[in-house]
Structure 1
Amino acid sequence: MSRASRPGHSRPTAVIVIAPDESSAEIVIEGHRQVVSGLAPHETRRAALDVATGYAAHIGQPVLVDARDANGYWRLIATPDGVVQPAEPTAPAQPRPQPPVPGQVPAPQSQVKGKKSGRLLVVGGAIALVVLLLVGAGLAIPRILPGSSDAAEEGEADENAIPLEYPAPPGFEPVVELSEELAPDTQPAVSRDGSVVVYVDPEERLNLIDADGSRLWSVDLPFDAAAGLGAPRFVDYGGESTIVMETADTLWFWPESGGTATNVELPESGSARYAGDSVLVRDDDAAYLVIDGELEEIEAPGSSVPMLAADDRALTAVVSGPWNWISPGEEDPEVVHAERPSEAGEMEAVLTALREYVIVRWEPLQGDGSILAFHDREDGSVLGSAAIEEDALEDVSHLSAPIGLDLVVYGPVLFDPHSGETAVVPGFTPEISVGDQVFGELDGNRVALDTSGEPSEVPEDAETPRGLLGDRAVVVHDGHLYAIPPE
């Protein structure tokens, strides 16, 4: 192991970040992470510094400490004999610790002393910083860092209440509870169930953080961040939840649980589609599923077209008629016939397949317009339907983003999967479904609709959420992601 954090610098670096409630701290030394905890704030700080001095004793040389909390940023020196003192004022700034080797994702870290860390407020720049008590040679050195007063230790100060510097979207407070800096021109992704968020940091590392704000792992990208096409995505691959990133010629997969990354080369004219649970690859001549690190070609029956992938199967459909589930090497597809809605006549068209749904337009039994129905992709049953005007779907974009867990939307039609109820909002263009709201545009204005279709105005400078991390909205602004709590 190299003892230098960067070439030409003589000291390794320890980065210590104290949780907002000061009950736990994360320590990163040479890419290795550890979490400590204490019954009181001063115990947490002492435990964090003990890790730094212990490492200094192990390697037999001083360790530079980057100390961070909500009040400031300090640079300290931890010596092999247990003394911690301020670093020289002229000491050069240190980069963040080096991550593991490219392609290797560390397994999630176990918690030290059996206590899980609280939400870590990790803010790029100088927002989330560590409160530390300097301890050396067995004696308490006078506090030189703010934020460690008796009042703070007694919980009188709410250090989570860092204001968001621009308006919050409807339903959320303008308060930052978690923040991370992003690599330029990159976007984070939140898992559909809201349990984790993944993003690329300025050091071009892929990071996974859970709903509590705890970092599960971090790994070097095996390619330049600028080469990535779009945000990371969560897919099923190899029987488990996996993060995939796409470049012009390769798909890269990292298991959410931790492990070694794998990659699959794309055909020359191929591109990946993410309408379902897994990745569907298509080129000019064929369609493929990604199975065991290989592209397996699938044969769509008749004139049907592959629409989405789920595990090792693909769903194909024709313009009007049943759809098929097929697997590589299987000659006989599983045919699914759509159930006819009670208010509908003949099928007009299979519009698209997204997530758990196949969306079909039907003729009405009476009157003009159409019936739009959300069908279960597995058995064809009708989950929800609504009458729409004839031209209601003219400019609808077949995007997968608005297909949420709590509120599904296709064009102007909103569908609540829990109740089966639908609402139609003519002229609405959806962008993304987030919890029980869907964000988009109505009559030229940015709005958020609830399950009944009732709009709330989105403030002019508010960012559209990218998803929910737990119950907090993840928004992106000025190169940072922020998690903000509900009202």
Structure 2
Amino acid sequence: MSRASRPGHSRPTAVIVIAPDESSAEIVIEGHRQVVSGLAPHETRRAALDVATGYAAHIGQPVLVDARDANGYWRLIATPDGVVQPAEPTAPTQPPVPGQVPAPQNQEKGRKSGKLLVLGGAVALVVLLLVGAGLAIPRLLPGSSDAAEEGEVDENAIPLEYPAPPGFEPVVELSEELAPDTQPAVSRDGSVLVYVDPEERLNLIDADGSRLWSVDLPFDAAAGLGAPRFVDYGGESTIVMETADTLWFWPESGGTATNVELPESGSARYAGDSVLVRDDDAAYLVIDGELEEIEAPGSSVPMLAADDRVLTAVVSGPWNWVSPGEEDPEVVHAQRPSEAGEMEAVITALREYVIVRWEPLRGDGSILAFHDRGDGSVLGSAVIEEDALEDVSHLSAPVGLDLVVYGPVLFDPHSGETAVVPGFTPEISVGDLVFGELDGNRVALDASGEPSEVPEDAETPRGLLGDRAVVVHEGHLYAIPPE
């Protein structure tokens, strides 16, 4: 329970300041600050009020809202059931004592300011209807205060109602409700998170918890296949969602969605930076809203897409980079590891790496090597048992920025060091940990292969938003801080 909700304390207050251009708003509740933004003035206001109603729902009592913009100042009440209504029949003409909250800076240049909207009178009733209709309520909870000293738990912190995974505190700093049967996605660098809310809107949130934009899905949320993904498209980072017959793209920077229809038997592959589309007969890149067919040289097979090129490979030998309309591919020869003999097989290509199995110069087993996809150099290698990769899927693997895992082999791309943990089945790489299963038990391994047990009821993180793990439980996502 927060301090504001305890008996003997006055009603908690949320102070909302709308920026002059109405592209962003600053909200301060009990000393905790959050900045939200919207693609239009009404979206900015809605995002700000959602924070107030979310906090009211959290503490179980109404919250007084002091809202101000370039037009003046209004006093509202945000209730736990999501309704916003005027606090007084007539709005006061003077704002509260100044000096409480500075006006927020514009978060994104170049947005339209739009026509001023007023949070009072008839418009307040419109806001009441909008929020009361069940629009998404982002909850950047007060536990995320930077004012708390390191190692201390903020008295306003919200406890996680089940065990946290290893390396993280059981404290909620950010919470969002998800559309049924949907999953969020975190960008690989942890800078943004995307999710679909119960109103079937696609939302993008940054590492500070600020909503960057929110748009209606052009299809039913139930039609989406899997979680959204972050890919390179059109020269910029883009969010892609897939349905049975279509790929939908939204620029991370904001803008209108574009779509590309898939071939009848086509499917999308996300092993590289960009989307690779394959059907029974051909492979395609998505370029300028069209599918561009790729001619794979010889018997090579398309494996991943990056920078409007496709990497193709044969079972044993060099791999190729192929561009649409170009006859001569770029050929890349894998460097032989110092302890290796002949190449046994190109196993797969994932993100920045081509993973190759080599014969050892002496002894039994094989050498698994992580090669740079661009020049073929050896980045790391490890000796494995001959049957170590029998049950490993070549289509995907946890490839993080700090830890890469293929089967039982862990590779630290910063140091080049590897570790082998026989029997380990990886699931996802999260920062400097990889989560998976070892001998029937859920564990988290560090780069050295040292395991930590995952509590029975703990959720496996979906990624890192900043330094916070994102977990999903009973239709909500939660961001929880590191230990």
Tell me the TM-score normalised to structure 2 length: 0.74
- Asked if the contact 2:16–2:65 (Cα under 8 Å) also holds between the matched residues in 1, the reply is yes
Taking a change above 3 Å as real, the CA distance of residues 127 and 43 of structure 1, as seen in their structure-2 partners, is: closer
- Asked if the contact 1:100–1:219 (Cα under 8 Å) also holds between the matched residues in 2, the reply is no
Could you list the per-position Cα deviations for residues 171-209 of structure 1 after superposition, in whole angstroms to 9, with x for gaps in the alignment? 000000001000000000000000000000000000000
Taking a change above 3 Å as real, the CA distance of residues 219 and 73 of structure 1, as seen in their structure-2 partners, is: farther
Matches of 1:86 and 1:277, distance apart in 2: 49
Taking a change above 3 Å as real, the CA distance of residues 413 and 391 of structure 1, as seen in their structure-2 partners, is: same
The one of 449, 461, 465 aligned to 1:465: 461
- Asked if the contact 2:26–2:103 (Cα under 8 Å) also holds between the matched residues in 1, the reply is no
- Asked if the contact 1:61–1:80 (Cα under 8 Å) also holds between the matched residues in 2, the reply is yes
Q: Could you tell me how far 1:397 is from its partner in structure 2?
A: 1.5
DSSP-derived class of the 2:46 partner: helix
Structure 1 stretch displaced more, 457-466 or 62-71? 62-71
Taking a change above 3 Å as real, the CA distance of residues 156 and 445 of structure 1, as seen in their structure-2 partners, is: closer
Q: Could you tell me how far 1:110 is from its partner in structure 2?
A: 2.8
Matches of 1:53 and 1:445, distance apart in 2: 41
- Asked if the contact 2:24–2:104 (Cα under 8 Å) also holds between the matched residues in 1, the reply is no
Alignment map for 1:201-280 (pairs within 5 Å): 201-280=197-276
Q: Could you tell me how far 1:355 is from its partner in structure 2?
A: 0.2
The 4+ residue runs of structure 1 with deviation greater than 2 A are 1-92, 98-160, 398-401
Percent sequence identity over aligned pairs: 96
Matches of 2:213 and 2:157, distance apart in 1: 26
Structure 1 stretch displaced more, 75-84 or 200-209? 75-84
Structure 1 stretch displaced more, 12-21 or 298-307? 12-21
Q: Could you tell me how far 1:12 is from its partner in structure 2?
A: 24
Q: Could you tell me how far 1:260 is from its partner in structure 2?
A: 1.4
Could you list the per-position Cα deviations for residues 144-180 of structure 1 after superposition, in whole angstroms to 9, with x for gaps in the alignment? 9999999999999946510000000000000000010
- Asked if the contact 1:197–1:469 (Cα under 8 Å) also holds between the matched residues in 2, the reply is yes
Taking a change above 3 Å as real, the CA distance of residues 480 and 85 of structure 1, as seen in their structure-2 partners, is: closer
Corresponding residue for residue 72 of structure 2: 72
Taking a change above 3 Å as real, the CA distance of residues 62 and 284 of structure 1, as seen in their structure-2 partners, is: same
- Asked if the contact 2:56–2:79 (Cα under 8 Å) also holds between the matched residues in 1, the reply is yes
- Asked if the contact 1:320–1:349 (Cα under 8 Å) also holds between the matched residues in 2, the reply is yes
Q: Could you tell me how far 1:398 is from its partner in structure 2?
A: 2.4
Taking a change above 3 Å as real, the CA distance of residues 200 and 83 of structure 1, as seen in their structure-2 partners, is: closer
Q: Could you tell me how far 1:112 is from its partner in structure 2?
A: 11
Corresponding residue for residue 184 of structure 1: 180
DSSP-derived class of the 1:54 partner: helix
Cα root mean square deviation, aligned: 12.1
- Asked if the contact 1:123–1:181 (Cα under 8 Å) also holds between the matched residues in 2, the reply is no
Structure 1 stretch displaced more, 176-185 or 16-25? 16-25
Q: Could you tell me how far 1:261 is from its partner in structure 2?
A: 1.0
Matches of 2:123 and 2:259, distance apart in 1: 36
Matches of 1:40 and 1:156, distance apart in 2: 39
The one of 155, 158, 162 aligned to 1:166: 162
- Asked if the contact 1:36–1:48 (Cα under 8 Å) also holds between the matched residues in 2, the reply is yes
- Asked if the contact 2:46–2:127 (Cα under 8 Å) also holds between the matched residues in 1, the reply is no
Q: Any stretches of 5+ residues in structure 1 without a counterpart?
A: 93-97
Q: Any stretches of 5+ residues in structure 2 without a counterpart?
A: none
Q: Could you tell me how far 1:444 is from its partner in structure 2?
A: 0.2
Could you list the per-position Cα deviations for residues 32-51 of structure 1 after superposition, in whole angstroms to 9, with x for gaps in the alignment? 99959999999999998999
Q: Could you tell me how far 1:311 is from its partner in structure 2?
A: 1.9
Q: Could you tell me how far 1:259 is from its partner in structure 2?
A: 1.3
- Asked if the contact 1:103–1:262 (Cα under 8 Å) also holds between the matched residues in 2, the reply is no
Q: Could you tell me how far 1:99 is from its partner in structure 2?
A: 29
Taking a change above 3 Å as real, the CA distance of residues 47 and 144 of structure 1, as seen in their structure-2 partners, is: closer
Q: Could you tell me how far 1:142 is from its partner in structure 2?
A: 28
Matches of 2:138 and 2:281, distance apart in 1: 72
Taking a change above 3 Å as real, the CA distance of residues 117 and 35 of structure 1, as seen in their structure-2 partners, is: farther
- Asked if the contact 2:366–2:383 (Cα under 8 Å) also holds between the matched residues in 1, the reply is yes
Taking a change above 3 Å as real, the CA distance of residues 310 and 145 of structure 1, as seen in their structure-2 partners, is: closer
Could you list the per-position Cα deviations for residues 238-285 of structure 1 after superposition, in whole angstroms to 9, with x for gaps in the alignment? 000000000001000000011111100000110000000000000011
Taking a change above 3 Å as real, the CA distance of residues 28 and 261 of structure 1, as seen in their structure-2 partners, is: farther
Corresponding residue for residue 356 of structure 1: 352
Matches of 1:103 and 1:185, distance apart in 2: 45
Structure 1 stretch displaced more, 44-53 or 57-66? 57-66
Matches of 1:377 and 1:407, distance apart in 2: 17
Structure 1 stretch displaced more, 76-85 or 239-248? 76-85
- Asked if the contact 2:74–2:91 (Cα under 8 Å) also holds between the matched residues in 1, the reply is no
Corresponding residue for residue 196 of structure 1: 192
The one of 371, 378, 381 aligned to 2:374: 378
Taking a change above 3 Å as real, the CA distance of residues 320 and 169 of structure 1, as seen in their structure-2 partners, is: same
Taking a change above 3 Å as real, the CA distance of residues 262 and 393 of structure 1, as seen in their structure-2 partners, is: same
Q: Could you tell me how far 1:2 is from its partner in structure 2?
A: 37
- Asked if the contact 1:353–1:359 (Cα under 8 Å) also holds between the matched residues in 2, the reply is yes
Q: Could you tell me how far 1:324 is from its partner in structure 2?
A: 0.1
Q: Could you tell me how far 1:140 is from its partner in structure 2?
A: 30
Alignment map for 1:67-216 (pairs within 5 Å): 76=76, 110-111=106-107, 158=154, 160-216=156-212
Structure 1 stretch displaced more, 37-46 or 313-322? 37-46
Taking a change above 3 Å as real, the CA distance of residues 279 and 112 of structure 1, as seen in their structure-2 partners, is: closer
Q: Could you tell me how far 1:330 is from its partner in structure 2?
A: 0.6
Q: Could you tell me how far 1:3 is from its partner in structure 2?
A: 36
Matches of 1:130 and 1:30, distance apart in 2: 27
DSSP-derived class of the 1:134 partner: helix
- Asked if the contact 1:179–1:481 (Cα under 8 Å) also holds between the matched residues in 2, the reply is yes
Matches of 1:164 and 1:127, distance apart in 2: 37
